[in-house]
Amino acid sequence: MTSDTLFTPLTGGCKCSKVRFRMEVAPIITHCCHCRSCQKVSGSAFRTNAMIETDHLTILEGEPLPLQGAGGQKEVQCPACGSALWAHQPKLGEAIAIVSVGMLDHGERLPPEAHYFTRSKHPWVTLPPDLPAFEEMGYPAKAAAGARIKAALAATGPGPSMDAGVVDAQVRDG
């Protein structure tokens, strides 16, 4: 992803435009997630997501509604139209938001950098050979990205099953 110094904030919102938000900094990573939850929420074979520190999301209009989903994931939606705006993955807690790229006004500016949960991808989906693919949740093998995840976890505390040491190992090995 581009460095934060070159990043122009991206706005987005739900289908009915009652909830609008802005990503203030470049995402930690943009990825395609093939987990069953993302398949169901997106109504497609996978969901393209941008991982960002929740503190760098600004609500511009409306009040999104957090709902508890399956497996401990919290989906943040528009209370009027039900659009899935972003999620909080249980391993990362609320420090990190997983923004649905399809909800961004210019999501085309965030091409995927990896594929996650490929063990549950549909067999007809072909993965590009030049992008990393992980059978489960992966973490970007970039020092700056790992540092951002660790800093967010340190500021708010990790999710119930994740800590900065695990992020260190996954960034190093992933």
Higher pLDDT, 45 or 139: 45
Say which CATH superfamily domain 4-137 falls into. Answer: glutathione-dependent formaldehyde- activating enzyme (gfa) (3.90.1590.10)
Average pLDDT, the chain: 85
Residue 107 in this model has a pLDDT that exceeds 70: yes
Would you state the pLDDT for residue 165? 45
Percentage of residues in the chain with pLDDT exceeding 90?
A: 62
Percentage of residues in the chain with pLDDT exceeding 70?
A: 83
Q: Domains of the chain: which residue ranges?
A: 4-137
Q: Among 116, 143, 131, 48, which Cα is nearest to 87's?
A: 48
Token couple for 94: 């609320």
- Mean of the pLDDT values across residues 168-174? 40
Q: Determine what percent of the chain falls in helix, strand and coil, rounding each to the nearest 5.
A: 30, 30, 45
Would you state the pLDDT for residue 168? 43
- Mean of the pLDDT values across residues 19-28? 97
